[in-house]
Structure 1
């Protein structure tokens, strides 16, 4: 059974395994920066027993805005509803926040997931998104 928990710290090797398994090597090239980012985020972690199998990480001011930064599931646990469970848990916690945003790749599978859980393209809300990447 998968358990979702709010955690402030996680085992660094478990985190690196999760990010590497998803090909997110930009994060794992600087493990200390990743662990600092996690320490400064709200983290919803999915566990199968003691094994970290998924993570949703967001930042928020608790009033006007929240930004979902990462959502990852170990590949062997994908397509089992864990990502949806993490997202629904986050959405319940963020229901009174004025705006919830995320930035993701424009891939059909990814777009399909986020629209299925209630997000919409910013352009469809007459909004535009700007970004500046300063990789660490």
Structure 2
């Protein structure tokens, strides 16, 4: 499978719905207009494509100078474990290498712990960091 990456934030709503539903992130697809607006208003979006099919995406919010927050990183189930998420993450980390604070919260732990650790992230439950979240 030949994969290419794109930085265009204008992504077809049906493609977004298919990707987010495939990874069971249904909260995002309850209102597709809001999802599309969130994508377009993000600091950075890198998408992964196989032909015309959206197969992965990473979305970054923040100021891009002192903090970035990796809001979403997802890959179609059929395309997982092929290094696509790692390539997406590495592109973000390279672009924002001078940003001191890079954060992400992922509810799928411990399934994704290894992924974040191999990309240089430290779990807040294992060090001197503390993380708080308010989910409404």
Matches of 1:88 and 1:25, distance apart in 2:
26
**Residues 19-62 of structure 1 deviation map (CA, whole Å, 9 limit, x = unaligned):** 00000001001111111110111110001122110000011212
Given the alignment of the two structures, is residue 64 of structure 1 paired with residue 66 of structure 2, yes or no?
A: yes
Instruction: Tell me the C-alpha RMSD between the 2 structures.
Output: 1.1
Alignment-derived partner of residue 114 in structure 2: 112
Unaligned 5+ segments in structure 1 are none
Alignment-derived partner of residue 47 in structure 1: 49
Alignment-derived partner of residue 129 in structure 1: 131
Alignment-derived partner of residue 21 in structure 2: 20
Alignment-derived partner of residue 82 in structure 1: 84
**CA shift at 1:5, angstroms?**
1.4
**CA shift at 1:106, angstroms?**
5.0
Alignment-derived partner of residue 92 in structure 1: 94
Alignment-derived partner of residue 3 in structure 1: 4
Unaligned 5+ segments in structure 2 are none
**CA shift at 1:107, angstroms?**
2.4
